[in-house]
Homo-oligomer: A and B are copies of this chain.
Amino acid sequence: MSLTLSIDAMGGDVGYQVTIPASLQCLKKNPQLKIIMVGDQQILQEQLSQALVEFEGRLSIHHASQIVDMDEAPQKALKNKKDSSMRVAINLVRDGVADACVSAGNTGALMATARFVLKMIPGIDRPAIISTLPSIFGHTHMLDLGGNVDCSAEHLYQFAIMGEEVVKAVENIDNPKVGLLNIGEEDTKGNEQVKAAATLLENSSLNYIGYVEGDSINAGHTKVDLIVTDGFVGNVALKSIEGAAKMIGTKLKQSFADGVFSKLAALLAYPVLKAFKDSIDPRLYNGASFVGLRGLVIKSHGGADAKAFETAIHLAELESEKDVARKISEKVELAIANRDGEES
């Protein structure tokens, strides 16, 4: 079964110099994959002249005359950049030409555009952002990571339903363990929304394991596969972990740079330190999915290099193969129908 991805070739801090090598690498790895590079026809034609021959029938260019700036206001991009590489890549998903789109562009603009073009699944207000975080034993999925700052219990419940489908697809498991992020594991802990969401989750068909604390994020998957929280808390947790990893990496480097003996030790320990660094390489965790939309949109870090962008494309492949957007839509519809049934 072939699958087609539209790539916002011009998006991100670097643009086509990252998106092109990553896309070609993915085409090499997956013979079922087709890619549409969206962006300036002339530039892409020039850059891809050889590749278009090598991947004939699987690689094509779709022209888009504009680029959304990384700091452009979302509403401005929506209004003035109707022919941007980002917008056109999303249009291709809406029109059924592509199964999913991948962009390293401006997050706010990508979310606003995706919402405008693809529309939300009925019953969902705003897209949520879900991504994978490294853990001791594997990794943990978490949402929302920034889309929704003020969340009701109902929102948190919907995140759990949507997140479950992503985890099932990406991890290839049946009953992901779902935890609700809180400041303690006891029933009495937390704010009103979290307590009310816990009741909704307890009465759902999800494999709900209860409250988890911040230190469980890096304890997946043995403890929890999916952590649900609002976009404010999720974003702060994600960034806090990034900051901690950066601090620890810097201190480790400093320790090994400190004095002649340390430098010698660093030299001898180099392969081990390299293996360690690779094991927590953030590029292997690049790619966040926007869920709640009538179509698949994967967001890459703006500063991603080719290897990191490849990870984001790979996520789009996985979610397309498993038809995640449709499954989410069906699950949400069912959950709303069940609740309406109970209420009437």
A-to-B contact residues, CB < 8 Å: 134-136, 146, 149-150, 181, 183, 190-192, 213-219, 229, 231-233, 235-248, 250-252, 254-256, 258, 261-262, 264-266, 268-269, 271-273, 275-276, 279-280
Contact = CB atoms under 8 A, between A and B. Distances in A.
Contact of A266 (B183, B235, B272): B272
A196 B268 CA distance: 54
Contact of A236 (B146, B219, B237, B242): B237
A208 to B, nearest CB: 19
A252 B192 CA distance: 39
Copies of this protein, total:
2
Could you tell me the dominant secondary structure of chain A's interface residues? helix
A135 B243 CA distance: 9
A235 B211 CA distance: 14
* A236, A245, A255, A280 pick with most chain B CB within 10 angstroms: A236
A171 B136 CA distance: 35
A181 B236 contact: yes
Contact of A244 (B190, B218, B254): B218
Which 9 residue pairs across A and B have the least CB separation, nearest first? A214-B239, A215-B243, A214-B240, A255-B276, A218-B247, A218-B243, A183-B235, A265-B269, A244-B244
B136 A250 contact: yes
A299 to B, nearest CB: 15
Contacts of A233: 232-233, 236
A171 B247 CA distance: 20
A272 B265 contact: yes
A229 B233 CA distance: 11
A261 B215 CA distance: 32
A159 to B, nearest CB: 16
A268 B229 CA distance: 44
